[in-house]
Structure 1
Amino acid sequence: MTFTIREDGFACVLAGREVLRSAPYAPAFAIARGAPSVEMVRGNFAISDAPTDRVELGFARPEGEDLLLSASDGSEPMLRLSLQHDALTVTTLTPGFDRVWVDLAANADEHIWGGGEQMSYLNLSGRRFPIWTSEPGVGRDKSTELTRLMDQNGMAGGDYWWTNYPQPTFLTSTLWACHLGSSAYSVLDFTDAARHRIEVWEGAFTLEFFSADDLPTLVGALSSRFGRQPALPDWAIGGAIVGLKEGEASFARLEKIIEAGAQVSGLWCEDWIGIRQTSFGRRLFWDWSWNEPRYPDLPARIAALAEKGIRFLGYVNPYLANDGKQYAEAEALGYLALQQDSDAVYLVDFGEFDCGVVDFTNPAAMDWFAERVIGKEMLDFGLSGWMADFGEYLPVDLRLHDGSDPMLMHNRWPVLWAEANARAVASRGKTGEAVFFMRAGFSGVQAHCPLLWAGDQSVDFTRHDGINTVITAALSAGLVGNAYSHSDVGGYTSLHGNVRTADLIMRWCELGAFSPVMRSHEGNRPDDNLQIDSSPELLNAFASMSRVHKALAPYVRHLSDEAVVTGLPVQRPLFLHYFDPALFCVQDQYLCGADMLVAPIVEADATQREVILPGDTPWRHLWTGEDFAPGTHTIAAPYGEPPVFFLPDSKFAPLFATIRESK
C-alpha cells in the first residue's frame, strides 16, 4: 500500500486500486471533540454523541514518509497518517480531538459484507452499522408490537444492527477488505454509494487493508489475520447435543429421546449449577459449581453417559452473583471490578439479581477464573463443553484493575472472556477436544473461541429475530474468520405470549441437522413452550434429523479439517464460490462446503420454497435423487425433507446418497 501525492490531494493505493482519495474540495478525513452519552439497562445500550469543533482536513503535506493533514493550506497540522505494509495508522495531533471520520473510496455498484455477526442483513450496502457489543434485542423491528413492548421494558427491543458480536471489518465485491484496529465505539456507514465512511471514537487507530484475486482467498486472509479455530472434535459433530434443564429428571427424558431413535452425542444441562426463577423465566444460579440438590450423583451420571459415548455439557459466564460463594471468594482476593469513586465492588443488574464483574484486566483474576472456576469446577469435574454465555455487559462507568478506559475495553471484553475459557481448556490439554460456545464477540475472538452460537432468537419466524436470522449470522461471521456457527434448535426467547409452534420446532430441527453442530434448547420459559419431546410427532422429527446430522458427520469432518487449512467456514454464502452479483444479497440459503446447498424453510406453515441453484452444472436433490438445472426452482418441502442439493460429481456423492435412508 502506498501514498500517491497529487496536485489536488492524495490517495492511498492498494494493489493498484485506490481505496482512499482526498482533496481540499472532498476531504477524506474529519475530526472533532466528542461528548458521549451512554446508558445501559441489562446489556441494552442507548448511545449518542454531541461532537463539537468538527474540522475537515483537506490539505496534506509530506513529513518524511508520513502525511500531515490540516484544515487549510499552511495551517497547523491536526492529523498524522503513517503507512506500514498494508496498514494505515491515523493519529490526531491536537489534544481533545477524539472523533475521527474516514471516507474510503467506493463504487456505485459495490456490495459490502462483514461487520461481525450480523442478524438482519448479510449485504451491508445502504445502511450504517454501529459497532458495539450488546444484547441483540427482542423483536429487533420497530414496526412490531413485540419490539415496542420490549423497548418500554428496559430499552430491550433492539434494531437491525444490534448484535452480540460486532466487528469493524468489511469486505467488498471489488475484492478488498478493511479492518479497523480499534476497540472504541465505531460506525461502519455505507449509506452513501460514493464512499464507505468509518467513524471512530478514538484519536489513534489503524486501518488494515487486504486484497485478493478471488473471494475465497480474501476470506482466508482475514481468517489468518484473526486466528483460526481448531477442528471440531468427532463427538461434537457426530450426533445431536440435547439441551435439558429439569435437574435429575433430565436423564430419564434423555433415555426416552434415545429410545425414540435419536443419535445423541451430548447432554447439555445448563442448570447444573442450580436455578433462579425470575419474571423473565427459568434462569440459572450464577455460582459456577455443581448444584448437588438439583443433580444428585452427577459425577456418576457423567461417567455412565461417557460409557455410552455421550458427553456432558454445562454453562458458565464471566459474572458472579453476589449471593454466591465464588463472589465472596473473588471479592476477598480483589478480583472484581470496582466503582469509579470508591473501593466498593461494582454490581451489575441482570434482572432481579446483581452480579460482580470478574476483572480480566487483572492477570491474577484471569488466572483464577480459568483455573479455579473453569479448570477445577468444570473440566476436572468431567464437563466436555459448555455455553460460555454473555460478555456484552461491561459497563462504561466502572474502574478496571489496569486503569483502562471502559469505553475502549467494552468491545474487547468478549475477547478476554474467550481467552479465559481457552486458557482453561489448554491447561488441561483439551484444546480441540473440549468445546465451549459463545454468542459475544469482537475482533480477535476467533483465536480463542472454537464455536459460535447465534444467541437468543425469538421463538418464531419473524424477519429480524426469528429462525432465519441464524443463517445470516453464520454467513456474516464466517466471512470474517469464524468457521463454525450453530443455533438453539427451537429458539430461545419467549415473551408476551410468543411461544413455539410445532411447525417452528420441526423446521429448526431441519436447520440444525445441516449445521456444523446440532444442539437443542428448552428456552427461557420451558414450561410454556413445546419441547422436542412434547409429542411423538416432535420427538420423531428431532430423532430423524439427528440421524441425518450423524450421517453427515464425515462430510462435516472434511469441512472442519478444510477450515483449519484454508480458513473457509462450513456454512458459506452462495457468492463465495459463485461470484455472481445476482447472488450478493441471498441470505436465506447457503452452501455447506462447496458441494452441498441448503435452503431451510424459514417461513411459517410453508410446504415449498423457491431455491436458487447457482453455477452451470446440475444439482441433485438430496431426498429424491432428481437432477435440477441451474436456476430458480420451486421445491416441495414436506417436514423432514428441507430443500437440500448436492453436486453429483462430488467425491462425497455416495455419502450424500445414503443420507435419505438414514432418517
Structure 2
Amino acid sequence: MLSLNFALEDDGFVLLLEDRVILRSTADKPAFQVARGDADVRMIRGNFSIGDTPQDHHSLSLARMDGADVVLSVQDGAQPLLRLRIAENRLEVRTVDTRFDRVWIDLAAQPGEHVWGGGEQMSYLDLSGRRFPIWTSEPGVGRDKSTELTRLVDEDCMGGGDYWWTNYPQPTFLTSSLMACHLDSSAYSVLDFTDATRHRIEVWQGDFALELYVAPDIRDLVGQLSTRFGRQPPLPDWAIGGAIVGLKEGEASFTRLERIVAAGAEVSGLWCEDWIGIRQTTFGRRLFWDWSWNAARYPDLPTRIADLATRGIRFLGYVNPYLANDGVQYQEALAAGYLALRQDSDAPYLVDFGEFDCGVVDFTNPAALDWFADRVIGQEMLDFGLSGWMADFGEYLPVDLRLHDGSDPMLMHNRWPVLWAEANAKAIASRGRTGDAVFFMRAGFSGVQAHCPLLWAGDQSVDFTRHDGINTVLTAALSAGLVGNAYSHSDVGGYTSLHGNVRTADLMMRWCELGAFSPVMRSHEGNRPDDNLQIDSSEALLAQFAAMSQVHAKLAPYVRHLSDEAVKTGLPVQRPLFLHYFEDALFSVQDQYLYGVDMLVAPIVEARSTGRNVILPGDAPWRHLWSGEDLAPGTHFVKAPYGRPPVFYRPDSPFAPLFASLETQA
C-alpha cells in the first residue's frame, strides 16, 4: 500500500501520496479550519432539518513539525489547535482542544476533475460543482423544490427532500485523476465540490481519519474500495433466475400469483410484505410492525410456502428494526431492557412513524442485537420458511435518545444501518444460509457492504420526474456500485403515490423493461395499491411483465458470471460507461449503463418516448439485441417500442449466442 508523507515548505506544508499532492496548506491559503459547533437537528418521520451555528471559527495558517506529526495553529506563538498524524494511507486528524468539534479540510483538485461516489446518490452521478451532506434519512418525495409535489410534502412533514437526500450516504469519493478519499467517521459531514480548485470536507467531529487511495486505472480503484468495505456473497441462483412478484393482498395473493404464472411469467419468488398483517393510515396501506406470521391475513401460510417450494418458488417477507408499541415483540424487548431510552427518564423512546409509535431496538447492546437476530429473524422468519425479505428502514435513529453503550446518537445515527445489516446477516449465518437467503436494504453507510447482500433503490415516486422518478434508479445503482456495492435493483413500478400522483401504463411497461436488465427483478404494489396500476391490472401489462421476466430468466447465466466476477474483483454488475471507456465525454452519463463489460443498457426513462439517443462507446461495433443489427461507435437514435428497450452487446462476447437467443424472446 502506498504511504502518505508530509513535506514542509517555506510558507506551509504539503501532504503527498508518493509524488501526488493531496493537499497544500499555506499561510495565505490554509487547508484546515476549526470551530466549535452548535447543532440544531429536528426530525419528523425520518426527515431531518439540520443546522449549525459555529463559534470561534479559525483558519489554521501556521504549521510546524512536532516529531513525525504536523501541528497547526492560528499564528506564531498561539496554542496548537489541530494535530495531524500519518499511518500508512491514513491521515489522522485530532483537535487538541476537544471543545473544537468542527473541522474543514481542503484537498487539492486537478483542473477539470470529475468526482463520483457519495454512497447511493439519486440525482447526480457526477458530483462536481455541488455539495452533498452525508446523513442517512428518508430520501424525500419529489426531491425538487420547484415542483408542487415537493412543496406539498414539505408542508406536511418537511419531507419533500432535495437532490442530496438519500437513504444511503457515504463519505467516500473517487476522482477522474484516479484518486479516492474516504472519511473514516460516522459524524454528520459534507462533501463540498462547489469550488473547482479544491475538494472540501466538513466534519462534525474532532477526531477522525481520511484514507487516501490511488490506482493506475479506475477499475483498480473501485476494486480497492470494495476490498476496503467488504464484498457481498454471490447472488443465489433462485434470486436471479426469475422475477420476484410482490403482492400484498393476503390469501388472495396466491390466486393472483397463479394468474401471473399462467400468463407465462418466470417466477422465482413471491414477496408478501403483509405477511405480518396491515395497518391502514392516511399515507396508505402500511404494515403491522410485529415480526411474525399473521394467521388472520394468511390462514395457511406454512402449507403455502411448502407448496411453492416444490415448484421452485421461494417465499419472501418484510422486517424492519423497530417494534410497534401495540405489538407482542415490543413487550418482550421492553421486559428484557432491549429498547433505547429517553434522555430524561428510563422510559423507552418512541418514534412517530405516521399514526403509530415504535420502540427502537438498541443494537449498541450486543444482547439486543443477538435477540433480534435469533428470536425475531431467526425463529419467526428463517425457521418459519422465509428465503428473503425487505430489511426496511434504518435511517430513523433520533439524536435525542439514550443508547446502551453511552455513545453519542449524532455519531451513531449514520452507523445505524450498518448495525441493522449486521443483525440480518448474523441471523442468516446462524442458520447456515449465507449465499442462499437474501435480504435487501435501502439504508446504508460505510461498511454496510460487508453485511448487506443486495441494495434496493428505495421509494421512488411513481413517475418519470427528474429527481424522484424511474431514472433515479440508474443513478443509485451506478453511484453505489463505485463504492463497493455490487448488486442493486428497484421496485418495478415505483412506490410512492401521493396527492394524485399515480402510475401510468407507460411507466409500468418501461419499469418492467428496466427490471429485466437488473440483477434482481422484483415488483412492488406501492403504498397505495388500490389507486395504482399493477403488473396484472390489464392483459397488456401482464403480457409485458411475463415477457420481461422471461428475458430476465434467460440472462441468468450471464448474471451468474457477473456475480462471480463481483466476488472476485469488486466490480459492480451495473457499471458507468467510464468504468471501461475512460473518456471525459462519458464521465457524467447516468441514463445508461454497462451490464458487465459485454452488454449496454439504455432504458427508456422519459414519459411517452418511443426511442432515445444512445451512446455506444469504444472503437468496435455494438450489436442491437432485438434486431441483430451492428452499429458503429458513436451516438445513435434507437427506436424502442414496448418490450424492446435499447440494449446492445459486443458481437465478440463469449455470451453472444445467449444474447442472440433473446431476439425472439420479447
**How far is the alpha carbon of 1:105 from its aligned partner?**
0.2
8 Å CA contact 1:24, 1:59 repeated in 2: yes
CA distance in 2, matches of 1:145, 1:17: 47
Is residue 165 of structure 1 aligned with residue 161 of structure 2? Answer: no
> What is the DSSP-based 3-state SS (H/G/I as helix, E as strand, rest coil) of the residue aligned with 2:664?
helix
2:212 aligned residue:
209
CA distance in 2, matches of 1:326, 1:300: 24
Is residue 542 of structure 1 aligned with residue 542 of structure 2? Answer: no
Is residue 241 of structure 1 aligned with residue 244 of structure 2? Answer: yes
**One-letter identity of the residue aligned with 1:406:** P
CA distance in 2, matches of 1:508, 1:209: 38
Is residue 292 of structure 1 aligned with residue 279 of structure 2? Answer: no
C-alpha offsets along residues 72-121 of structure 1, whole Å, 9 cap, x if unaligned? 12321110000010000000001310000000000230000000000000
Q: 1:472 aligns with which of 468, 471, 475?
A: 475
2:147 aligned residue:
144
**How far is the alpha carbon of 1:661 from its aligned partner?**
2.1
Q: 1:628 aligns with which of 627, 631, 637?
A: 631
C-alpha offsets along residues 150-198 of structure 1, whole Å, 9 cap, x if unaligned? 0001001000000000000000000000000000000000000010000
8 Å CA contact 1:175, 1:218 repeated in 2: yes
**How far is the alpha carbon of 1:4 from its aligned partner?**
1.2
> What is the DSSP-based 3-state SS (H/G/I as helix, E as strand, rest coil) of the residue aligned with 1:60?
strand
**One-letter identity of the residue aligned with 2:103:** V
1:268 aligned residue:
271
Q: 2:517 aligns with which of 497, 500, 514?
A: 514
**One-letter identity of the residue aligned with 2:474:** I
2:226 aligned residue:
223
C-alpha offsets along residues 523-549 of structure 1, whole Å, 9 cap, x if unaligned? 000000000000000000000000000
Superposition map of 1:487-526 within 5 A: 487-526=490-529
Q: 1:314 aligns with which of 314, 317, 339?
A: 317
**One-letter identity of the residue aligned with 1:81:** L
C-alpha offsets along residues 370-408 of structure 1, whole Å, 9 cap, x if unaligned? 000000000000000000000000000000000000000
C-alpha offsets along residues 445-502 of structure 1, whole Å, 9 cap, x if unaligned? 0000000000000000000000000000000000000000000000000000000000
Q: Which runs of 4+ in 1 moved over 4 A?
A: none
1:118 aligned residue:
121
1:128 aligned residue:
131
1:374 aligned residue:
377
2:421 aligned residue:
418
Greater shift, 15-24 or 295-304, is seen at: 15-24
CA distance in 2, matches of 1:71, 1:574: 46
2:7 aligned residue:
4
C-alpha offsets along residues 319-354 of structure 1, whole Å, 9 cap, x if unaligned? 000000000000000000000010001000000000
CA distance in 2, matches of 1:108, 1:135: 35
C-alpha offsets along residues 297-322 of structure 1, whole Å, 9 cap, x if unaligned? 10000000000000000000000000
1:568 aligned residue:
571
8 Å CA contact 1:236, 1:517 repeated in 2: yes
2:581 aligned residue:
578
CA distance in 2, matches of 1:369, 1:76: 49
Q: 1:99 aligns with which of 86, 98, 102?
A: 102
C-alpha offsets along residues 550-584 of structure 1, whole Å, 9 cap, x if unaligned? 01000000000000000000000000000000000
Is residue 68 of structure 1 aligned with residue 75 of structure 2? Answer: no
8 Å CA contact 1:240, 1:519 repeated in 2: yes
CA distance in 2, matches of 1:260, 1:479: 38
2:536 aligned residue:
533
1:59 aligned residue:
62
CA distance in 2, matches of 1:12, 1:615: 37
> What is the DSSP-based 3-state SS (H/G/I as helix, E as strand, rest coil) of the residue aligned with 1:377?
helix
8 Å CA contact 1:15, 1:211 repeated in 2: no
CA distance in 2, matches of 1:157, 1:314: 28
Length-normalised TM-score, structure 1? 1.00
Q: 1:283 aligns with which of 275, 286, 303?
A: 286
**One-letter identity of the residue aligned with 2:319:** V
2:44 aligned residue:
41
CA distance in 2, matches of 1:147, 1:121: 18
Unaligned runs of 5+ in 2: none
CA distance in 2, matches of 1:29, 1:601: 45
**One-letter identity of the residue aligned with 1:526:** P
CA distance in 1, matches of 2:214, 2:426: 33
CA distance in 2, matches of 1:485, 1:95: 40
**How far is the alpha carbon of 1:16 from its aligned partner?**
1.5
**How far is the alpha carbon of 1:518 from its aligned partner?**
0.1
> What is the DSSP-based 3-state SS (H/G/I as helix, E as strand, rest coil) of the residue aligned with 2:157?
coil
**How far is the alpha carbon of 1:277 from its aligned partner?**
0.4
> What is the DSSP-based 3-state SS (H/G/I as helix, E as strand, rest coil) of the residue aligned with 1:153?
helix
> What is the DSSP-based 3-state SS (H/G/I as helix, E as strand, rest coil) of the residue aligned with 2:297?
coil
**One-letter identity of the residue aligned with 2:215:** A
Q: 2:609 aligns with which of 606, 611, 614?
A: 606
1:435 aligned residue:
438
CA distance in 2, matches of 1:95, 1:292: 55
8 Å CA contact 1:8, 1:24 repeated in 2: yes
How many pairs are equivalent? 663
> What is the DSSP-based 3-state SS (H/G/I as helix, E as strand, rest coil) of the residue aligned with 1:30?
strand
> What is the DSSP-based 3-state SS (H/G/I as helix, E as strand, rest coil) of the residue aligned with 1:13?
strand
8 Å CA contact 1:112, 1:124 repeated in 2: yes
**How far is the alpha carbon of 1:30 from its aligned partner?**
0.3
**One-letter identity of the residue aligned with 1:380:** D
CA distance in 2, matches of 1:42, 1:358: 17
CA distance in 2, matches of 1:159, 1:279: 24
**How far is the alpha carbon of 1:662 from its aligned partner?**
2.7
> What is the DSSP-based 3-state SS (H/G/I as helix, E as strand, rest coil) of the residue aligned with 2:159?
coil
2:595 aligned residue:
592
8 Å CA contact 1:453, 1:488 repeated in 2: yes
2:650 aligned residue:
647
8 Å CA contact 2:628, 2:663 repeated in 1: no
CA distance in 1, matches of 2:194, 2:161: 20
8 Å CA contact 1:116, 1:169 repeated in 2: yes
CA distance in 2, matches of 1:113, 1:74: 41
2:193 aligned residue:
190
Q: What is the root-mean-square deviation of aligned Cα atoms in Å?
A: 0.5
8 Å CA contact 2:536, 2:542 repeated in 1: yes
**One-letter identity of the residue aligned with 1:199:** E
8 Å CA contact 1:622, 1:657 repeated in 2: yes
8 Å CA contact 1:451, 1:484 repeated in 2: yes
**How far is the alpha carbon of 1:5 from its aligned partner?**
1.1
Is residue 347 of structure 1 aligned with residue 350 of structure 2? Answer: yes
8 Å CA contact 2:98, 2:206 repeated in 1: no
CA distance in 1, matches of 2:12, 2:516: 55
How many percent identity over aligned positions? 78
CA distance in 2, matches of 1:544, 1:11: 59
CA distance in 1, matches of 2:490, 2:445: 18
CA distance in 2, matches of 1:18, 1:195: 12
CA distance in 2, matches of 1:40, 1:513: 37
CA distance in 1, matches of 2:317, 2:545: 21
2:360 aligned residue:
357
> What is the DSSP-based 3-state SS (H/G/I as helix, E as strand, rest coil) of the residue aligned with 2:171?
strand
C-alpha offsets along residues 21-50 of structure 1, whole Å, 9 cap, x if unaligned? 100100000000000000000000000000
CA distance in 2, matches of 1:340, 1:446: 32
CA distance in 1, matches of 2:63, 2:525: 59
